Structure 1
Amino acid sequence: MASRIFRDSNKDNAGDFIGESTVTQSCKPCMKTNVSNTATVFCKDCDEFLCDTCKNPHTVYKPGQHNIVNVQDTKSAPVIIDMKGMDKCHEHGRDIEFFCQDHSSLCCSSCVLIHRKCDQVDEIAKVSRQTRTELQALKQSLIKLQSEAESIRADFEQSETGLNESIAKISSEVDKMRDRIIQLFEDAKQKFIAEANKFKTAELKRIMNARDASSKVKDEISEILSMYCIVLERGTSSQQYIYSERIKERRKTMESNAHDQRKVKVASKVTVSFSKELTSFLEVGSNFIQLNYDGKQTVKTSPISLSSQPRPVTLELLVSVDLPKTGDDEKKPLLIGLDFLPDGRLVAVDNRNMKCIILNERLQRLGTPYTFTGNPYCVVCVSHDTLCVTFNGVVYLLSVSTDNTITLTREINTTSTFYSICCMSPSNMVVSTYDDPRPVRMISVDGVETDFDHILTFPKKTYKVDESACTYVQSKNTLVLTDRFAHTVYMHDTLKGTSRAVTNTNIQEPRGACVGPGDTVLVCSTIKHSIVHLSVDGNIIGTYPVDMLCPHSIGLSKNGTRLALSNIAHGTTKLQLFKISPAMR
Structure 2
Amino acid sequence: MASKRFVDSNRDNAGDFIGESAVTQSCEPCIKSNISKTATVVCKDCDEFLCDACTNPHRVYKPGQHNIVNVQDHKSAPVILDMKGMDKCHEHGREIEFFCQDHSKLCCLSCVLIHRKCDKLDEIAKVSRQTRSDLQALKQSLIKMQSEADAIIADCKQSETGLNESIAKISAEVDTMKDRIIQLFEEAKQKLISEAIQFKTAKVKRIKNKFDASLKVKEELNNVLSMCCVVLERGTPSQQYIYSEQMKEKRKTIESTIDEQRQITFSSTITVSFPKQVTSLLEMGSNSIKLNYDGNKTVDTSSISLSPPRPVTLELLVSVDLPKTEDDEKNPYGYLTGLDFLPDGRLVAVDCWNKKCFILNERLQRLGTPYKFKSNPRGVVCVSHDTLCVTCVGKVVCLLSVSTDNTITLTRQIKTSSEFFSICCMSPSNMVVTTYDDPRPARMISVDGVESDFDMFPMKTYKGNESMCTYVQSKNTLVLTDRYAHTVYMNDTVNGTSRAVTNENIQNPRGACVGPGDTVLVCSKGKNSIVHLSVDGNIIGTYPVDMRYPYSIGLSKNGTRLAISNGAKGEKKLQLYKISPAMH
TM-score of the alignment, normalized to the shorter chain, above 0.5: yes
What TM-score do the two structures reach when normalised by structure 1?
Answer: 0.56
Q: Residue 546 of structure 1 is aligned with which of 525, 541, 544?
A: 541
SS in 2 for 1:270: coil
Kept after mapping to 2: 8 A contact 1:523/1:531: yes
- C-alpha offsets along residues 150-170 of structure 1, whole Å, 9 cap, x if unaligned? 111111111121122222223
Unaligned runs of at least 5 residues, structure 1: 321-334, 338-348, 352-374, 378-391, 394-418, 462-485, 535-539
Matched, 1:204 2:199: no
Distance 1:26 1:580, change over 3 A: farther
**Which moved further from structure 2: 247-256 or 271-280?**
271-280
Distance in 1, matches of 2:84 and 2:217, equals: 119
* Equivalent residue runs for 1:60-139 within 5 Å: 70-72=70-72, 77-139=77-139
SS in 2 for 1:25: strand
Match of 1:455 in 2: 388
One-letter code aligned to 2:152: I
Distance 1:556 1:260, change over 3 A: farther
Cα offset for 1:521?
8.2
Distance in 2, matches of 1:161 and 1:70, equals: 54
Cα offset for 1:268?
0.8
Count of residues in Structure 1 that have an aligned counterpart in Structure 2 = 432
Match of 1:187 in 2: 187
Cα offset for 1:142?
2.1
Matched, 1:24 2:23: yes
**Which moved further from structure 2: 550-559 or 207-216?**
550-559
Distance in 1, matches of 2:151 and 2:350, equals: 69
Match of 2:444 in 1: none
**Which moved further from structure 2: 71-80 or 165-174?**
71-80
One-letter code aligned to 1:546: G
* Equivalent residue runs for 1:468-507 within 5 Å: 488=422, 490=424, 503=469, 504-505=480-481, 506=488
- C-alpha offsets along residues 104-131 of structure 1, whole Å, 9 cap, x if unaligned? 1111121122222322111122222323
How high is the sequence identity, in percent, across the aligned residues?
46
Distance 1:146 1:108, change over 3 A: same
SS in 2 for 1:314: coil
Distance 1:293 1:336, change over 3 A: closer
Distance in 2, matches of 1:284 and 1:131, equals: 69
Distance in 1, matches of 2:307 and 2:40, equals: 87
Distance in 1, matches of 2:432 and 2:583, equals: 28
- C-alpha offsets along residues 431-477 of structure 1, whole Å, 9 cap, x if unaligned? 65888933236799xx996998553336699xxxxxxxxxxxxxxxx
One-letter code aligned to 2:197: N
SS in 2 for 1:208: helix
Match of 2:174 in 1: 174
Kept after mapping to 2: 8 A contact 1:433/1:440: no
- C-alpha offsets along residues 292-321 of structure 1, whole Å, 9 cap, x if unaligned? 4333289xx9xx956x4789952257x99x
SS in 2 for 1:269: coil
Distance 1:550 1:279, change over 3 A: closer
Matched, 1:162 2:162: yes
Kept after mapping to 2: 8 A contact 1:289/1:305: no
Cα offset for 1:524?
5.8
One-letter code aligned to 2:24: Q
Match of 2:263 in 1: 263
Q: Residue 523 of structure 2 is aligned with which of 522, 525, 528?
A: 525
Kept after mapping to 2: 8 A contact 1:24/1:38: no
One-letter code aligned to 2:523: S
One-letter code aligned to 2:90: H
Distance in 2, matches of 1:547 and 1:277, equals: 26
Distance in 2, matches of 1:422 and 1:76, equals: 93
RMSD: 5.7
Kept after mapping to 2: 8 A contact 1:420/1:432: yes
Distance 1:167 1:559, change over 3 A: same
Kept after mapping to 1: 8 A contact 2:309/2:519: no
Kept after mapping to 1: 8 A contact 2:231/2:239: no
Distance in 1, matches of 2:37 and 2:167, equals: 52
Kept after mapping to 2: 8 A contact 1:526/1:551: no
Kept after mapping to 1: 8 A contact 2:521/2:533: yes
- C-alpha offsets along residues 349-408 of structure 1, whole Å, 9 cap, x if unaligned? 5x5xxxxxxxxxxxxxxxxxxxxxxx799xxxxxxxxxxxxxx99xxxxxxxxxxxxxxx
Unaligned runs of at least 5 residues, structure 2: 327-337, 371-384, 395-419, 434-467, 470-479, 482-487, 489-507
